[in-house]
Amino acid sequence: MRIIPAIDIIDGKCVRLSKGDYNTKKIYNENPLEVAREFEDNGIKYLHVVDLDGAKSKHIVNYKVLESIASKTKLTIDFGGGIKTNEDVDIAFNSGASQITGGSIAANNPIQFLEWLNKYGAEKIILGADCSERKISTNGWLDKSDIDVVDFIKDYEVKGIKNVICTDIAKDGMLAGTSNELYQEIMSQSNINLIASGGVSNMDDLYQLIELGCEGAILGKAIYEGNIKLKELQELC
């Protein structure tokens, strides 16, 4: 299972939220590049970067941070947040992203999202399936749809998606464990590569995700709060 630390960005700074609530913002480092370099120095190879300003503004905002990290580390970066147009996609890839994640666009404008999937391929385009009470949430998690998360993923699998990041918003940033039952259901009904996100609190949570068969696990606050040490992740990697 791939270990994928997350760097969430607001105003160019490394932050974390609880349940996606922007009012719970906590700044962990004013220089995300320092954080990324520390990950790399401890054997991490992958990084999940989220432009929270972009998600709220509905267009990429913090691409300079992405550019800095991509040009000054060897980390393989997937990038999401505010990717709504062809220009946003170009900016993300030109700034150094290896993959982009589309969540809101996949729910609200599937024709556009499928164009990107067909143009760039399933290895470059990740489906973001962020949900609250099983319903897909969009636009920085500020809006909730009526789309069931499992149906959403299965529909896009038929259309060619291979990689899915699924975040249970109720778990995100809460350090209270991951949505294992939901992940088990998703994997029992599809053959996608599932990247679990939200709720990782300790190493036991990661071992459980490995047992479930997740392809990757994204974690953030557990690292920043010291619940999981980078040396532990280095040993796991």
How confident is the prediction for the chain on average, in pLDDT?
Answer: 94
Q: How far is CA 79 from CA 12, 43, 75, 113, 208, in A?
A: 14, 20, 12, 15, 26
The residue ranges of every structural domain in the chain are 2-236
The answer to whether 75 touches 104, Cβ cutoff 8 Å, is no
Residue 140 has pLDDT above 70, yes or no: no
Tell me what pLDDT residue 47 has: 98
Q: Find, among 161, 45, 46, 63, the residue nearest to 103 by Cα.
A: 161
Annotated catalytic sites, by residue? 8, 130
Tell me what pLDDT residue 27 has: 95
In this prediction, residues 146-166 reach a mean pLDDT of 97
Tell me what pLDDT residue 171 has: 79
Quickly name the fold that domain 2-236 has.
TIM Barrel (3.20.20)
Task: Indicate the pTM of the whole model.
Answer: 0.94
> Exposed (0-12), middle (13-18) or buried (19+): which is 107, by Cβ within 10 Å?
buried
The pLDDT > 70 percentage for the chain reads 98
Helices (H) and strands (E) in the chain — how many of each?
A: 11, 12
pLDDT band for position 141 (cuts 50, 70, 90): low
The answer to whether 134 touches 97, Cβ cutoff 8 Å, is no
Tell me what pLDDT residue 150 has: 97
Tell me what pLDDT residue 142 has: 66
* Residue range 32-86, pLDDT digits in tens: 999 999 999 999 999 999 999 998 898 999 999 999 999 999 999 999 999 999 9
pLDDT band for position 21 (cuts 50, 70, 90): confident
User: Strand pairing partners for 78?
Assistant: 48, 99
Tokens of 183: 């992940």
